[in-house]
Amino acid sequence: MSAWTVHRVNRLPVESLDLDLPRTSDSLRRESAYEERLADRAAFLSDALHAAVPMLDDAPHVRRAALRLRRCVHNGRPAQLPDDVMTRLRETLGGMAAHALTEWFDDMRDLSALRTRTDALYEEETTRANERLREVLAEPAFAQGLAQASPHLLDHVTAKPLEPHGKAARSVLGYVSRAAVKTSPFSRLTALALQDREADGTGHSYVDQQHVRAWLDTLARDERFASAFQVEPNRSLRRPGGRPYLLTPAYPGPGESAWRTDSVTDVSRYVELIEDLASWPRMTITQALVRIGGSDPFGGFLRLLDTGLLRLALPWTATEPHPARALARSLECLSDPVAQRTRALLEDLGEEAAALHLLSGSERARSVNRLAAQIGSVSADDPQPAIRYAVYEDALSDVPADLPVEAVQGDLADLGRLLRPYIFRSHVYDWLRDEFVARYGAGGHSDLFEFLWAVAASPGFEGNLYRALQKDHGESGRPTDRAWLPVSVSSAPPTAAVLYQVAARSTDAVRLGEYQLVVNQYNSGVGGLLARFRHQLDGPVADGAGLTNQLQGWIADLFPHAVPHQLTLSGDVNGMHRAAGGVLPALHWPGEPSHAGEAVQAEVPPTMSHCPVTNTLEVADHTGRALAPVYLGVVPQHLIPGVARLLLCLADPWVNGSRLCCTPNPVDGSPPITGEAMKLVPRQVHNRLVLQRRTWRLAPDALPQPTKGEQPSAYFRRVHAWRVSRGLPDEVFVSVESPFTAAGTASSQGKPFWLSFRSPHAIWAAANHIARAKNATAVRFAETCPDRSAYWLRDDSGSRRAAEHVSLLRWQRPTAHAHPDDEQKTYREDGSL
């Protein structure tokens, strides 16, 4: 396992979620005790009243009162009777029944008084919770993060009351809970730390790369600006089977994910034009227009750009920290007033974004809103990109997360032994190998990209890929002999990035072994989840202990007999992938545009060959050395579309088919829950490892919703009674399950949502979150593990901080006929522990 650990540390103390109503909740528990006692006695008293009714024929008004009282007893509602009626009823009932009647009235009187007291406590404590939420909102680092996430919200909520039923409170609570207990890195809400490295809370802010790319596209397509930029031919042409195919890009539009989708396109009709363009060097657009010629050379240029036959060279270097500034510098050669205005705007965007991490929350919000408005309000004559302006920030934690790693290494090793028989070679790899052998023969070789283009262009591509993935799904969830199938030296061995939390009272408790290690989820263990943070986690001093050096050493150990090269996808449009670049020498993907300053030279593409002895595929460079493609992007391999996914499967062909973590697998759809049904999934543990949180699955409409005209305290009381009836704990995380998608995976409506049943703010927010979910099939309530008392990390004030840790695991690369029986004996035949 990796000797180093990356920590994701929440910026707000866990105590920021102290929005509960403790006295109100205690009063509700006392109400429940009264209600339970009244319910226990209701049957006896109701039967006694029923038997007494015939004996009251001589007193019709008492008889009617007895019937009304019986209904009140049955329904648990208060009742009032005149003294003479009470006296006659006691006389008629007699004995134990008369005593039960007196006790019922005493308990109901006390319960009614208690309910009045509960309502008053609710108002008092809710006012205090409103103030507490406002105090958290004013916390400087949280306001900074909120300004990054939603600058308009920060301005909006400053004047809004933060009452539980209000939209403003729901929005603020969502970010507060994210910054307190949800460990997905984002700006100052959740920051990063590397084991034994400085944690000073510093940040790095920059313009969204998708926005920068949109500016480049907009300017290059404007004849007034085009001369400032360069183009290059698309040199991805390959001829598998003699038919020409080209890799053509499709860029995202507004509201779409920052991803460029590269597709293999049959270009038989344009092959002569493409071959002619391939002889062009990188050149300015002005030079390209001369070569294009004709009556409308710029129109011709746009058509070549739209079809992907030409592409823009990026005017920033691969290591440029602020591409927006470089884009502005590229306009220095233009004297047109519109160009000068645009250059000044781009400079403002870059400079203010770079300095944004130094500003307070309100100043950040004003800066982002002002520049977004400025872009949107330029004159009709000025260019305007289609993608909205946004700024991102990565930040270091302000708290050193000095987890006693040596204390938990034994548990991680234990987890590794459990995991290994479930990590198997993908059927996609088998399919690609069989395709290769069918085309080039056993022991054959080919241009790597020619083979990939051939597979992606074949008529049955999508169906074959889907069937291979379905086989992977069928193999998952149990130990399998496919875990021991070999791969070549250019493919990664089995790896896993383990994302886990440690539940303990303190650091000392961790050292003493008094903790649980909660396994949240897994990712590939090559390093892609972490590489995007290398600039922050390298630190200002190049001492060799930063993240880049750690990743380089880890990857070198993964490939002792091959030369690892980094494969970057969508780096021109995805800032997180761009930030991850440069860990290793580059393996150029033909769809990636070149950067300024890169030498223009004919690349000799890598080759692929088949080894008949191991029946595996191996990638090599032009000298014949084994070459290992290494993908360090954050987008998981299974979400990458098209032909690029095939190369990633060859690079890392392993599927983690285990279910030994607390995050449900998206391919494991569960049946819908309807009506009053409830499914309880118990907690799964192995020694100190928590592999599954206790979970309750209920119907989407199970959680009570507020009704029109209902008093807030009455709704709070109703939800409390519902929770108790279902046996749910006070605090949970809520997820809304949705039907399977077209890709055969289930989805959730967003990340798990924090819910304390003792907080009206959390209840109203959760109810709204569930009510807005469309086509929901179930609602999942998962226990909080760690709970709020079990976060071991403390800040300088002694407050608790939530933290998640990422450690990398790797196993030996299987060779032909490998099958370590001693590891499989840990498991029963059904795959259970």
The pLDDT score that the predictor gives to residue 350 is 94
So where are the chain's domains? Answer: 22-124, 205-395, 425-477+487-494+525-655, 678-784
The pLDDT score that the predictor gives to residue 830 is 35
pLDDT-based confidence at residue 591 (cuts at 50, 70, 90): very high
- Check whether 478 has a pLDDT greater than 50: yes
pLDDT-based confidence at residue 376 (cuts at 50, 70, 90): confident
3-state secondary structure of 795: coil
- Check whether 747 has a pLDDT greater than 60: no
- Give me the mean pLDDT over the 333-342 stretch: 94
The pLDDT score that the predictor gives to residue 310 is 98
- Check whether 745 has a pLDDT greater than 70: no
pLDDT-based confidence at residue 494 (cuts at 50, 70, 90): very high
The pLDDT score that the predictor gives to residue 822 is 43
How many percent of the chain have pLDDT more than 90?
82
pLDDT one-digit tens code per residue, 616-675: 999 999 999 999 999 999 999 999 999 999 999 999 999 999 999 999 887 777 899 999
pLDDT-based confidence at residue 743 (cuts at 50, 70, 90): very low
How many percent of the chain have pLDDT more than 70?
96
- Give me the mean pLDDT over the 379-400 stretch: 92
- Check whether 473 has a pLDDT greater than 50: yes
- Check whether 831 has a pLDDT greater than 60: no
Residue 182, CA atoms < 13 Å, CB-side half-sphere? 19
Question: Token pair for residue 425?
Answer: 């070679």
The pLDDT score that the predictor gives to residue 541 is 65
pLDDT-based confidence at residue 817 (cuts at 50, 70, 90): low
pLDDT one-digit tens code per residue, 88-134: 999 899 999 999 999 999 999 999 999 999 999 999 999 999 999 99
* Mean of per-residue pLDDT scores for the chain: 92
For the chain, helix, strand, coil in percent to 5 are: 45, 15, 40
The pLDDT score that the predictor gives to residue 818 is 58
- Check whether 539 has a pLDDT greater than 60: yes
Rounded to the nearest 5 degrees, what angle is found at the Cα of 451, between the Cα atoms of 448 and 454? 150
- Check whether 821 has a pLDDT greater than 60: no
- Check whether 823 has a pLDDT greater than 50: no
3-state secondary structure of 656: strand
The pLDDT score that the predictor gives to residue 666 is 73
Q: How many CB atoms lie within 10 A of CB 94?
A: 11
Secondary structure letter of residue 396 according to DSSP: B
d(CA 430, CA 258): 31
Q: Are 416 and 641 in contact (CB under 8 A)?
A: no
- Check whether 72 has a pLDDT greater than 70: yes
Question: Among residues 208, 200, 140, 146, which one has the least CA distance to residue 176?
Answer: 146
- Give me the mean pLDDT over the 431-435 stretch: 98
d(CA 289, CA 296): 9
CB-based burial label for 420 (10 Å; 0-12, 13-18, 19+):
buried
Q: How many CB atoms lie within 10 A of CB 299?
A: 12
pLDDT-based confidence at residue 740 (cuts at 50, 70, 90): low
pLDDT one-digit tens code per residue, 156-189: 777 678 999 999 999 999 999 999 999 888 888 9
- Check whether 338 has a pLDDT greater than 70: yes
The pLDDT score that the predictor gives to residue 827 is 32
Rounded to the nearest 5 degrees, what angle is found at the Cα of 90, between the Cα atoms of 85 and 96? 155
d(CA 739, CA 237): 40
The pLDDT score that the predictor gives to residue 667 is 73
- Give me the mean pLDDT over the 543-551 stretch: 88
Range from 111-115, 331-335, 522-526, 736-740 carrying the lowest mean pLDDT: 736-740
- Check whether 820 has a pLDDT greater than 80: no
Rounded to the nearest 5 degrees, what angle is found at the Cα of 250, between the Cα atoms of 246 and 253? 175
pLDDT-based confidence at residue 212 (cuts at 50, 70, 90): very high
3-state secondary structure of 424: strand
pLDDT one-digit tens code per residue, 661-714: 999 887 777 899 999 999 999 999 999 999 999 999 999 999 999 999 999 999
Q: 786: cis peptide before it, omega within 30°?
A: yes
Range from 279-293, 420-434, 527-541 carrying the lowest mean pLDDT: 527-541
- Give me the mean pLDDT over the 787-796 stretch: 95
- Check whether 824 has a pLDDT greater than 60: no
pLDDT one-digit tens code per residue, 398-420: 999 889 888 999 999 999 999 99
- Please indicate whether residue 197 or residue 572 has the higher confidence score (pLDDT): 572
